[in-house]
Amino acid sequence: MLRLARHPEPILKPLPHHPWESRYVFNAGVVYHNGLVHMLYRAMGEDMSSRLGYAVSPDGLTFYRLDRPVLSPTSPWESRGVEDPRITFLEGRFYVVYTAYSGSNVRVSMVSTMNFITWTHHGILLPDEDNKDAALFPERINGRYAMLHRRPPDIWLAYSEDLIRWTDHQVIMRPRPGTWESWKIGAGAPPIKTEWGWLLFYHGVDHHKVYRLGVALLDLEDPTRVIRRQEAPILSPEAPWEREGQVPNVVFTCGAVEIDGTYYVYYGGADTVIGVATVPKEEVERFCRGR
């Protein structure tokens, strides 16, 4: 059974002297590129609107952050915040799919960058529906781009020729009644390519609103086909800073990386701080192989 081991302390906390991130930092997207972990994290401060901060780390544990947000709301769709960024390095650019929150609606929105400071805005991806927890696959599959998204309570997959117009929407994973993921599920980290399939760290919520993390494996050629899905969660809120905070009993991931034979899964604890939990690559491979 695959289990993550949590790092004993949060790796990023709110900073009282930065008004934009004085209250909560959580739900971080990450990418490992040229020997550095680049992180975009959701930050909330005095005005309770979400912005994205940027932090960078040489080892996955010690992060150095900028003193101002790198992405703030720009359109009416996100007047109350830009939330839950998921970063995918795709064809030489960093694409970030995030939740645009208007106060009454949530939309999937996308920006891209080469440097995490200056952005190209691609706009809303699924214009006519409330949707979140979207994540791009890091390469085309049979010639088309692929993205996971969430029509409650399920994880869906869609394809696109141009990253903007999405078609062929299909449910790929549903909640499992009577379990830790009985109410709703959503993609976590963007899918990670392995020899055995697309590795997916995702979240599940039960009817007591406890958020936990799970793991699944999707077919490389046809990612609508779920090869394997572990029954037990891989991380549950147990540490004090996962059990108490803005929203109690939450571990919620938006990104994971592999560094030197270890997977690092970053997650928000109680929508208040950022933690990381790790697992050796061999154990993940054992899960992928089904033994």
Please give the residue ranges that form the binding site for ligand BMA (CB under 6 A). Answer: 27, 83-84, 211, 247, 250, 252, 268, 271
Q: How far apart are the first and last CA of the chain?
A: 9
Residue 230 or 246 having the CB closest to ligand BMA = 246
Is residue 24 within 8 A of residue 14, CB to CB? The reply is yes
Residue 172 or 247 having the CB closest to ligand BMA = 247
Residue 197 or 237 having the CB closest to ligand BMA = 237
Alpha-carbon gap, residue 219 to 199, rounded angstroms: 9
Residue 228 C-beta: closest distance to ligand BMA, Å: 25
Residue 206 or 271 having the CB closest to ligand BMA = 271
Is residue 14 within 8 A of residue 23, CB to CB? The reply is yes
Residues 6+ apart with CB under 8 A from 138: 88, 89, 90, 190, 191, 192, 193
What single letter denotes the amino acid at residue 196? Answer: W
Alpha-carbon gap, residue 204 to 182, rounded angstroms: 7
Residue 113 or 271 having the CB closest to ligand BMA = 271
Closest CA to 187 of 54, 46, 84: 84
Residue 161 C-beta: closest distance to ligand BMA, Å: 29
Strand partners, 144: 141
Token pair in block for residue 251: 């571990």
Residue 84 or 242 having the CB closest to ligand BMA = 84
Residue 110 or 213 having the CB closest to ligand BMA = 213
Residue 269 C-beta: closest distance to ligand BMA, Å: 10
Residue 209 C-beta: closest distance to ligand BMA, Å: 8
Alpha-carbon gap, residue 193 to 138, rounded angstroms: 8
Alpha-carbon gap, residue 201 to 215, rounded angstroms: 5
Residue 23 C-beta: closest distance to ligand BMA, Å: 14
Alpha-carbon gap, residue 76 to 96, rounded angstroms: 19
Residue 250 C-beta: closest distance to ligand BMA, Å: 5
Tell me which DSSP letter residue 35 carries: T
Residue 113 C-beta: closest distance to ligand BMA, Å: 21
Token pair in block for residue 194: 């392995």
Beta pairing class for 273-280 and 5-6: antiparallel
